[in-house]
Structure formats: C-alpha cells, structure tokens
Amino acid sequence: MATPLSASALLKALRDEGLHVVEHRSWRTHNRNHKGPWGPVHGVMIHHTVSSGTQHSVELCYNGHANLPGPLCHGVIAKDGSVHLVGNGRTNHAGLGDDDVLRAVINETALPADNEANTDGNRYFYGFECVNLGNGSDPWPAAQLEAIEKASAALCRAHGWTYRSVIGHKEWQPGKPDPRGFTMDSMRARIRQRLGGRPDGPAKPPVPPKPSYEPFPGAAFFAAGRNSPVITAMGKRLVAEGCGRYTVGPGPAWGEADRKSYAAWQRKLGYSGSDADGIPGRTSWDKLKVPNV
C-alpha cells in the first residue's frame, strides 16, 4: 500500500531513472478523480495503445474517445523511448480486474490466472500506454523497451516495491491481450536487474548541433543585379550587428544599401579607406557568420 506520488515527485522519479520526460499540456491536474478514489496505489500496469505515431497517440491518451474519456493512462511511452505525461491521479486505463491478482501484487507473490473482473484497477495502478499497434508484428525498439523498464523501476523505487508489482493489462483483466510482442516475465526480469543497481540519473539534454555558416562566395558574387537568399541572410546579420543601413529590407537583390551596410561592418572591424569599400572579403565575411540558407 502506498500513497500516490505527487506530480512533481512522479516527474522527478522518472527523470532520476534516466528517462527523457515530456510534460503534455495540463497533465498535472488532468484526471478522473471525480469518478472515484485514487489510491492507495499497489503497482504499475503496462499497456499498448493500438495506435501509431507519437503525437497522435499522446493526444488520444490525453483526450480519450467517445466511449472512454481521457486521460487513458499516466504516461505514454513512445518508440524513441521518450515518456509523455498525460495524467496525474485516477485515469481510465485498467478497468475492472481480478481481485486475486490484486492481492498477489500487494503481497508480491506469483500471479494467479485472471478469471474475474470484479475490482476497480483505475484506483490502484499507475498506467503506461506504449505506442504499438498490438498486432504482434509492430516492432518494439530497444529504446522503447528500455523506457518501459526504467519507468516501471522508477515507480518501484519510489514506493519500495519489487519487480513483482509490475503487471501487464492482460494479467489483470480477462480477455485483454496487451502488451503484445514481449512477455511480462521478460520485462519483470529486466526490472528486477535494474532495481539491483542505482538509478542512471537525469538524462543529459541533447547536444545542440554546431551552427554552420555560409562559406565565402567570392567578391565577384556581390555584383549589381545578383539575387540570392544569401544576400538576405547577410543583410539580417548586418542589422543584428548594428550595421544595417536599410530603409527597406534587407532583401535578396544586392544593392547600394547592402554595400553601405557591409562597409559599416568593415569599419566596425577596424578597416578604413579602400579596405572598407562595402565589398565582402573572406576575413570580414567569416567573422560575420552568415547562417546557411
């Protein structure tokens, strides 16, 4: 038995396990608590979405559908391993299941066969929907399986549970097939091994790509009548550097305003006389850092 985690504690537990977590819309206050109690919580339930595409699946689980209002889970685990939080509190994911299974989860003993649907699972389980068509042939990428493992382990750590507190929807509610494509025994073995070690720690933010810049096109490029998006990009950089001498623009056609603006840039760099004639040279161009277009 455990008190449900707060939204902030849930987020921290997942991130501390090394997951990339995306907070979707108003997930912190999005729940079905008006339909019944939430908690005490006893375990984690894994599902598949029977859908494809991350954004579509996340919106589906956040909003629900005509026959089942959202949220349909607490988090959606995408194929790339990202976890998208869509609810906090009671959610429509587990439905009615077997009370014998619930007792086994509470006691962390072997699961019996689920042959009854007499107990409200939405009250007692966290739920993760995993993006998969559930047809037995849609693949489960390694990153997604690892995220299921990490998300489950994160909640087990937070509540002091063992791997036996993680079950599949098919082990809870008679007739349900999910998750299809891997066995829950194999997933629990992964969770058990992970719980034997320390959390991975917060996922490192992605390293932004290094900016790339337009190479010097040569002085002959800057001739009257030249029309190119490179000239527009150059003009915008000159304006950003405080050297713009434009009344309109900058635009793609090389003109006198461009020449005067570039001359101002050359003077800013310390050039004078004929060296500040407004025609780009390689050294001044490289220092301007015109972004690729």
| SS3 annotation, the chain | CECCCCHHHHHHHHHHCCCCEEECCCHHHCCCHHHCCCCCECEEEEEECCCCCHHHHHHHHHHEECCEECCCCCEEECCCCCEEECCCCCCCCCCEECHHHHHHHHHCCCCCCCCCCCEECCCCEEEEEECCCCCCCCCCCHHHHHHHHHHHHHHHHHHCCCHHHEEEHHHCCCCCCCCCCCCHHHHHHHHHHHHCCCCCCCCCCCCCCCCCECCCCCHHHCCCCCECHHHHHHHHHHHHCCCCCCCCCCCCECCHHHHHHHHHHHHHCCCCHHHHCCCCCHHHHHHHCCECC
Could you state, in chain order, the average pLDDT of each consecutive group of 10 residues for the chain (293 residues)? 94 97 97 98 98 97 96 98 98 98 98 98 98 97 98 98 98 98 98 95 77 93 93 96 94 95 97 96 96 88
The domain locations on the chain are: 7-195, 219-288
Model pLDDT, residue 249: 84
Model pLDDT, residue 203: 76
Measured in degrees and rounded to the nearest 5, phi and psi for residue 284 equal: -65, -35
Model pLDDT, residue 224: 86
Model pLDDT, residue 1: 62
Multiple choice CATH, 7-195, 3.40.80.10, 3.90.180.10, 3.20.20.140, 3.40.50.1100? 3.40.80.10
Model pLDDT, residue 204: 72
- Is residue 62 within 8 A of residue 27, CB to CB? The reply is yes
pTM: 0.72
Model pLDDT, residue 208: 76
Model pLDDT, residue 248: 87
